[in-house]
Structure 1
């Protein structure tokens, strides 16, 4: 069983396992990586099945309704669509291993080329929205939790609950449409669509960040009030420490575990939300490309984009698990 090494003023650190067993950190990382690989395999299988379950003939959609039957048959043979589903699945797995994701049925370009074009725009949008959500939610949640503890400042509590409840319940695409109408159409203060200068990032980033920020702020407020009621916080207050040290050195580190967990979920939802928000703002990212490919039945691109979004969520969850374990090593001890 794993043991901990305690040092005054420091969080618990993991010691090596007794009896020559595997080191708890190594076992923890192996478990998490194994879970990631299993989830990724299930994901790529589901993406393949869903792409092939799309109604309609992708070759006919690409060539047009007036294409001669012999041309359609030849194209299906070239793409391997006349083979059994299991053979197509094996070809799909081989392509993933070798890095060959196929070619777009519509443009004829390699799928890898399309992905390298659109992924940076989506990653920029998601990361900017995530940073904004965290930078707003954690201080707002902490300050509200401090101000409303022990039933104080009831009006502030009601206003906070109302605003965050509304923001967390509005779908991203609906908020995006409202922001476009107000700031782009009515006041003409910001661009309606596209990815040009920094001003074009404002509306899509706010549309993506508002809901996760509201949810994270609510969690941080609850955790702040819980932490402030702990015995060690009462002891710290009895020492008459300055408020800055009391809340940043003692309260903040102890509510980070819950905040990191919710932040990981928020980033996952941001990646999913980019699909609709990019469509509203004509953002040239992976979300817009995915929607266009689904409508065009361009299943090689649909498979690649679906796998990209799914693996991004899995990687975020893996990273959150590791960061939480670093912040609070007791989670590793419990599993060992």
Structure 2
């Protein structure tokens, strides 16, 4: 309707919208996100029912009175038919109710709300130095070793990055605690005391992924530096920094961004082990404690949060890649 007058939409307009690359891309990614989210919700719900034995009895212990066990099962709705439990589970998700802990009857959403910020801080604080350090180092090493130059520097860089990437995060965390907290006393051994408490956990999470990303950036930059348009830019006698910053780096960022997104999801999952080494008050330490206590509603809620975080990161990376390379919006997914 224009100026109060109904006007028909041109027949070709709807077809053009349906065929527009960004519309098709958004529909594909939205559908994939919805399907993945549905599978995640269903899997997290079934998890509590596929575990052998009575989860309430396992959480409260074999000596817990039968009356208490039955009361807790009734409160959790475990005596209802499976389809009714699933419906209540979906209803709770839409209302922000993930149930209550079997062990202490605390609302799962409240516990997650208290612990999630600390996990996100660790993951994001680790991701920043990965990007800030790895990309410049990778670009610098590509510039220094281009054309087979400085073989010794290339060997040292490759060997060091492979070694750092091969060390498991929890083992690296233990080593950091022993050297810098126990022996040197520079940082707190565990728990969040002040800003210095973040240093060792962030290093434990960031060093390995940074080494991997630096190697990938170097390989991608070496590939890009051999392209014709880079030789053309050099022929125009542009400053080297401009050739690298304006022409080479943006074209090497597609693979780097994809890997960086995968690393961010890995960091979120990696906090589980690192938080337990440092007794960090986040979701990682909470889910391990809940597994040991057989507190399945709490485990179910945390797994759901971790899964949604991974899906959102992947969706964000897809959108950023499409912005950097619009051709990806018309490729088959």
Cα distance in 2, alignment partners of residues 238 and 325 from structure 1: 31
Query: What does residue range 1-336 of structure 1 map to in structure 2 within 5 Å?
Result: 20-22=16-18, 23-335=20-332
Contact 1:28/1:335 (8 A) holds in 2: no
CA 150–108 in structure 1, closer or farther in 2 if over 3 Å, else same: same
Cα distance in 1, alignment partners of residues 325 and 92 from structure 2: 40
Cα distance in 1, alignment partners of residues 285 and 318 from structure 2: 30
**Displacement after TM superposition at 1:335 (Å):** 4.2
Q: Give the TM-score, by structure 2 length.
A: 0.92
SS in 1 for 2:188: coil
Structure 2 runs not aligned, ≥5 long: 1-11
Q: Answer with 94-103 or 16-25: which moved more.
A: 16-25
Cα distance in 2, alignment partners of residues 334 and 285 from structure 1: 39
Cα distance in 1, alignment partners of residues 69 and 17 from structure 2: 61
Q: Answer with 85-94 or 244-253: which moved more.
A: 85-94
Cα distance in 2, alignment partners of residues 56 and 296 from structure 1: 14
- Write out per-residue CA displacement over residues 49-79 of structure 1, whole angstroms, 9 at most, x where no aligned residue: 2233334533224434322223322321222
Structure 1 runs not aligned, ≥5 long: 1-15
**Displacement after TM superposition at 1:240 (Å):** 1.1
| CA RMSD of superposed structures (Å) | 1.8
**Displacement after TM superposition at 1:81 (Å):** 1.5
Cα distance in 2, alignment partners of residues 234 and 275 from structure 1: 47
Cα distance in 2, alignment partners of residues 78 and 19 from structure 1: 53
- Write out per-residue CA displacement over residues 171-226 of structure 1, whole angstroms, 9 at most, x where no aligned residue: 11111011111111111111111112111001100111111111111110000001
CA 226–188 in structure 1, closer or farther in 2 if over 3 Å, else same: same
Contact 2:122/2:201 (8 A) holds in 1: yes
Cα distance in 1, alignment partners of residues 236 and 275 from structure 2: 52
SS in 1 for 2:331: helix
Contact 1:233/1:250 (8 A) holds in 2: yes
Contact 1:106/1:296 (8 A) holds in 2: yes
**Displacement after TM superposition at 1:160 (Å):** 0.9
- Write out per-residue CA displacement over residues 10-52 of structure 1, whole angstroms, 9 at most, x where no aligned residue: xxxxxx9995342221221121011011011111212222233
Contact 2:279/2:285 (8 A) holds in 1: yes
SS in 2 for 1:148: helix
SS in 1 for 2:104: coil
Q: Give the TM-score, by structure 1 length.
A: 0.91
Contact 2:72/2:102 (8 A) holds in 1: no
Q: Answer with 205-214 or 42-51: which moved more.
A: 42-51
Count, aligned residues: 321
Contact 1:227/1:233 (8 A) holds in 2: yes
Q: Displaced runs of 4+ in structure 1, greater than 4 A? A: 16-19
Contact 1:56/1:297 (8 A) holds in 2: no
Contact 1:257/1:324 (8 A) holds in 2: yes
Cα distance in 2, alignment partners of residues 21 and 93 from structure 1: 34
Contact 1:57/1:297 (8 A) holds in 2: no
Cα distance in 2, alignment partners of residues 282 and 130 from structure 1: 21
